[in-house]
């Protein structure tokens, strides 16, 4: 029996050629001959190409400097293909040529790599060749990738027709399964990349002789990766080992790295086989680190960190129990931590057996039922995963056995930690977690421009002082107010306020996530005898409601229009950094002081000797980083509360977007945006001593985008936290938070956005 393989192999990419070799060998192990169809898909693999663009000219100049080494690399790729790939005698360049070829196969196999990604082809559409449409032979798919999360609009019907020709479908990543299910209604198995079908011993037999003597740190990055730089640097410092950089990206990842330009596929395998450590952002670099059991750290794109369920690297490492090897997140492995290779090998063998079972069934045209993937063994009950957990502490507060604590991770955020000895698996925490429940929609709230009638209170508030009016109402009724305040060490905590004289502690914006500690239990206790006002982020308010299990009549809640919560660990480090730089201790901080008016907020620091520093917020190191959303909690970039379905009785924020002629006398002093979300809120609102004016909801949303959608995750967030995990904090601040040099700031004001975007692209290529 003989199969024709439709795949990428000729691109001179390590992963492309090695996956093609692996597929052929996997079929051979099952008794099938396999021939790779030499279909050339409009890819120019010349080392030097016509300089049609400035970027191409720069690339050619660089390649010209290293031409002898790059020519050896080219020759090694060609030699490896001729030696290890069984290619058709003829090269085909079109669908028509293949249609008339009369190929001598029993079936066609499509896969692996991104052969079903329409965006990589010149016309931006699917290439029908990779769906085998030129032939009436039976067709199967092994691990092709769409490379996109969604099919481009208007191509669904086309794709459905292509898929109809397959007797068996599988994909490399779970998003591919979702695409197939959506467009065709069929199920597809998720299988391993072909390079994982072969054992390490077989790859060793294809590797070149050892090319580097002694131990070394191997770096292989196919895209710029500042995320890995602190790991490379610290590993080199700690071990004293040389750094070998296999060139995928041109820029040196370590100043003393030895650059290797001439490695072919066999040399690629050898470099991974003998490395002492590996740092990579390549999927196949990760694969071969696992295959050869090399201690490794890997980086992924920001979008993959934000949505790990859509990442092929996360998908693989999750199956193998190795997600802690992904750097730039709070649960990354420490520099000295080693993988549990025996456990990894067992998981890999199980996954390999499942993939081979699919391939065997597809080749034999037999039914295949994908085995249900076993859920990883949990030490405790089901709680929101790290990408969704808000840190609201409702689970901790609800636990009847005090089995859950809130522990900070490497990013400085608190996550629930379950004590397996104390846990009785009652499930209360699971039922309490807001992220595991469905929120019911509410009617659109009423919006108001509002400001406090007391000048002193308004002056001390971030915007219009609406919170103080609400707090006064509750306190005058014998109630208690819970809100966030900085303590003497500049740690942000929720506290109870029983007197108006202490209310100043709760006023003003605080740009860090507050520690709730035992606040929910304290709220519950107070509600037994008096009214309570609870103010916090929407996720904290929702956590309180789920902890209480109801909405008590004497509870009033106020959620904030929240950009996202910065890391409390980072803020506390920043406070110590400021103290060290000034040589004195902080007494208090105002993140947004109206010393020059509401629209020019200042970051003001008051020290223990009475001296004061005040600067425009976004000209300070902390303010600049906060403005870029650099160190927000992971869930903030996908926040389900960034919408008009508000959880609190009230929503408070700044009323941005006012025209100069609107409320001109009030704008300098600050104006609050107040949303009234519930009937209870409407009743309380009528009792408040506030100046107010109705405001169009549409304009409220336009001025406060977080009422419509979460903030985007910045591209260098992972790099920041990778450095934060390993480097001294002052170095991290200097690298990520400092003002750019004066010429750069001047250029930023003069250059157009288009020119700046092109400059960033060129710099990244370096």
Q: Please write the tens of the pLDDT for every residue from 189-208.
A: 999 999 999 999 999 999 99
Sorting pLDDT into bands at 50, 70 and 90, what band is 309? confident
Model pLDDT, residue 40:
77
Lowest-pLDDT choice from 424-433, 536-545, 680-689, 747-756: 747-756
Sorting pLDDT into bands at 50, 70 and 90, what band is 763? very low
| Cβ pair 490, 506 in contact under 8 A | no
The Cβ of residue 48 has, within 10 Å, a number of other Cβ atoms equal to 14
Average pLDDT over residues 48-53: 69
Model pLDDT, residue 459:
84
Phi, psi for residue 765 in degrees, rounded to 5: -65, -30
| Cβ pair 433, 559 in contact under 8 A | no
Exposure letters 324-347 (e unless 16+ CB within 10 A, then b):
ebbbbbbebbebeeebeeeebeeb
Pairing of strands 166-168, 243-246: unpaired
Model confidence pTM above 0.85: yes
DSSP character for 148? S
Model pLDDT, residue 764:
46
Residues forming beta bridges with residue 677, ordered by sequence position? none
Query: Dmax of the chain from CA atoms?
Result: 90
Sorting pLDDT into bands at 50, 70 and 90, what band is 632? very high
* Helical ranges in 307-424 per DSSP H: 312-320, 341-363, 394-398
Exposure letters 288-305 (e unless 16+ CB within 10 A, then b):
bbbbbebbbbbbbebebb
Average pLDDT over residues 506-513: 92
Digit-coded pLDDT (tens) for 641-657: 999 999 999 999 999 98
Per-residue three-class SS string for 223-287: CCCCCCHHHHHHHHHHHCCCEEEECCCCCCCCCCCEEECCCCHHHHHHHHHHCCEEEECCHHHHH
Digit-coded pLDDT (tens) for 570-615: 999 999 999 999 999 999 999 999 888 777 889 999 999 999 999 9
| Cβ pair 516, 496 in contact under 8 A | no
| Cβ pair 547, 398 in contact under 8 A | yes
Model pLDDT, residue 757:
56
Model pLDDT, residue 10:
77
Average pLDDT over residues 51-64: 68
Residues 6 or more apart whose CB falls under 8 angstroms from that of 110 comprise 6, 7, 116, 130, 131, 132, 139, 140, 141, 142, 144, 166
DSSP character for 96? H
* Higher-pLDDT residue of 753, 699: 699
| 138 SS3 class | strand
Sorting pLDDT into bands at 50, 70 and 90, what band is 680? very high
Lowest-pLDDT choice from 171-175, 238-242, 383-387: 171-175
Digit-coded pLDDT (tens) for 522-575: 999 999 999 999 999 999 999 999 999 999 999 999 999 999 999 999 999 999
590/507 Cα distance (integer angstroms): 10
């Amino acid at each position: 029996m003989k199969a024709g393989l439709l795949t990428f192999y000729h691109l001179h990419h390590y992963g492309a050629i090695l996956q093609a070799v692996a597929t052929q060998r996997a079929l051979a192990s099952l008794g099938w001959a396999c021939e790779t169809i030499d279909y050339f898909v409009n890819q120019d693999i010349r080392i030097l190409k016509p300089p049609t663009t400035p970027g191409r000219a720069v690339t050619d100049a660089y390649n010209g400097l290293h031409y002898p080494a790059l020519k050896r690399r080219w020759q090694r790729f060609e030699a490896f293909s001729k030696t290890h790939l069984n290619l058709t005698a003829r090269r085909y360049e079109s669908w028509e040529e293949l249609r008339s070829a009369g190929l001598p196969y029993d079936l066609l196999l499509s896969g692996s790599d991104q052969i079903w990604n329409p965006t990589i082809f010149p016309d931006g559409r699917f290439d029908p060749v990779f769906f085998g449409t030129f032939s009436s032979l039976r067709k199967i798919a092994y691990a092709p990738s769409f490379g996109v999360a969604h099919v481009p609009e208007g191509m669904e019907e086309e794709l459905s027709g292509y898929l109809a020709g397959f007797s068996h479908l599988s994909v490399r990543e779970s998003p591919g399964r979702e695409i197939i299910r959506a467009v065709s209604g069929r199920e597809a198995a998720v299988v391993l990349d072909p390079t994982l079908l072969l054992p390490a011993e077989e790859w060793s037999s294809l590797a070149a002789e050892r090319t580097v003597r002694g131990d070394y740190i191997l770096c292989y990055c196919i895209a710029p990766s500042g995320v890995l730089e602190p790991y490379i640097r610290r590993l080199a410092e700690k071990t004293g080992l040389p750094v070998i950089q296999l060139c995928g990206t041109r820029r040196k990842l370590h100043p003393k790295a030895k650059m290797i330009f001439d490695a072919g596929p066999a040399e690629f395998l050898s470099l991974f086989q003998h490395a002492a450590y590996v740092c990579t952002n390549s999927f196949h670099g990760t694969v071969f680190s696992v295959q050869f059991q090399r201690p490794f750290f890997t980086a992924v794109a920001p979008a993959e960190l934000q949505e790990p369920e859509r990442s092929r690297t996360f998908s693989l490492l999750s199956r193998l129990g190795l997600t802690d090897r992904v750097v730039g997140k709070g649960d990354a492995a420490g520099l000295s931590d080693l993988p549990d290779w025996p456990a990894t090998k067992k998981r890999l063998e199980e996954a390999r057996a499942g993939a081979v079972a699919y391939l065997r069934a597809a080749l034999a045209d037999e039914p295949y039922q994908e085995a249900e993937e076993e859920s990883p063994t949990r030490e405790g009950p089901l709680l929101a995963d790290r990408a969704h957990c808000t840190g609201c502490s409702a689970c901790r507060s609800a636990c009847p056995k005090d089995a859950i604590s809130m522990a900070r991770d490497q990013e400085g955020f608190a996550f629930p930690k379950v004590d397996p000895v104390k846990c009785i698996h009652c499930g209360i925490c699971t039922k309490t977690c807001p992220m595991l429940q469905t929120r019911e929609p509410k009617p659109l709230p009423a919006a108001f421009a509002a400001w406090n009638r007391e000048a002193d209170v308004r002056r001390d508030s971030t915007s219009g002082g609406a919170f103080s009016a609400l707090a006064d109402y509750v306190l005058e009724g014998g109630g208690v107010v819970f809100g966030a305040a900085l303590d003497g060490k500049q740690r942000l905590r929720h506290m109870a306020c029983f007197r108006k004289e202490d209310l100043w502690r709760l006023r003003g914006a605080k740009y860090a996530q507050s520690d709730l500690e035992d606040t929910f239990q304290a709220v519950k206790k107070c509600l037994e005898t008096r009214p309570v006002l609870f103010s916090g982020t929407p996720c904290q308010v929702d956590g309180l409601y789920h902890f209480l299990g109801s909405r008590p009549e004497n509870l009033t809640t106020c959620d904030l229009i929240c950009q996202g919560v910065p890391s409390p660990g980072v803020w506390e480090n920043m406070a110590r950094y400021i103290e060290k730089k000034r040589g004195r201790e902080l007494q208090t901080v105002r993140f947004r002081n109206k010393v020059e008016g509401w629209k020019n907020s200042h970051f003001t620091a008051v020290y223990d000797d009475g001296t004061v520093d005040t600067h425009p917020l976004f000209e300070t190191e902390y303010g600049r980083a906060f403005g870029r959303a650099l160190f927000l909690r992971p869930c903030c970039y996908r926040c389900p509360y960034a919408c008009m379905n508000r959880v609190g009785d009230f929503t408070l924020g700044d009323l941005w977007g006012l025209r100069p002629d609107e409320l001109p006398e009030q704008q300098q002093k600050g104006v609050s945006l107040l949303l009234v979300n519930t009937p209870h809120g409407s009743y309380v609102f009528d009792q408040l001593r506030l100046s107010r004016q109705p405001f169009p909801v549409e304009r409220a949303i336009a001025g406060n985008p977080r009422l419509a959608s979460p903030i985007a995750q910045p591209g260098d967030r992972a790099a920041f936290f990778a450095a934060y995990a390993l480097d001294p904090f002052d170095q991290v601040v200097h690298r990520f938070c400092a003002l750019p040099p004066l010429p750069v700031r001047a250029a930023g004001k003069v250059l157009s956005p288009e020119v700046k975007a092109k400059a960033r692209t060129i710099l990244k290529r370096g």
